[in-house]
Structure 1
Amino acid sequence: MMNQMQNWLAKAAVELGLRIVIGYVLKLPDGREIPAQALLPDLGGNLGTLVFDSAGGLDAGTRRALASQGFSISAFSEPLPNEEFNVENYAEMFAEWGWASNDITKPIWMNEK
């Protein structure tokens, strides 16, 4: 079952035409598993952006390991109960992360941000 952050990330990805993997778990070379809320493979680093609900859960060594593998990291709070979904907010955030995919064409809306 998805939490509210995952629901909204998935909804934004669908509305904006982006690929997303909800509940992505990355296995590091040392065997550690790093669970993320989601992976957006077309945004940010060469391998995409991993989304976490708190940056505090990632120590500096883990952040370096993720970056060295080609991932960008984004962390933010889960939506508040009274907050309303706004796809434009997600479009702005995704545009700030930047386009990284060589597999698919950059969406037109990213050029407008």
Structure 2
Amino acid sequence: MLIVDNYDQVEPHTDEIVRAGYGFSVLDEPHQGETFDLSNYMDMFRDWGWTGSAASQPKWIDIHN
């Protein structure tokens, strides 16, 4: 997964990125004083899915558990 803060950075390369087997997300930098919400990040990671070894997959990533 590639993470960028500006879609214009990846827009000319989206087909190449997908053909190479990657996805991408555009995330803003956190605002000063913004509260970190772990559950939002966990939801995002679940949405992306797990591609590593099953043995190293965190239990919380599987929404069916």
Residue 101 of structure 1 aligns with an amino acid whose one-letter code is G
Paired residues, number = 64
Shift of 1:103: 6.9
1:20-39 correspondence to structure 2 within 5 Å: none
More helix by share: 2
Structure with higher RCO (Cα < 8 A, 6+ apart): 2
Maintained 8 Å contact 1:52/1:76 = yes
Mark the runs of 5 or more structure 1 residues left unpaired by the alignment: 1-48
**TM-score with structure 1 length normalisation?**
0.50
For residue 51 of structure 1, what is the aligned residue in structure 2?
Answer: 3
Aligned to 2:48: 97
RMSD of aligned Cα (Å): 1.9
After the TM superposition, list the runs of 4 or more consecutive aligned residues in structure 1 that deviate by more than 4 angstroms: none
Question: Partner of 1:75 in structure 2?
Answer: 26
Are residues 106 and 76 of structure 1, via their aligned partners in 2, closer, same or farther at CA, if it must alter by over 3 Å?
same
3-state SS, counterpart of residue 78 of structure 1: coil
Structure 2, unpaired ranges of 5+: none
The structure 2 residue matched to 1:64, chosen from 5, 15, 25, is: 15
Q: If each structure's strand is expressed as a fraction of its own residues, which one has the higher value?
A: 1
Identity among equivalent positions (%) equals 27
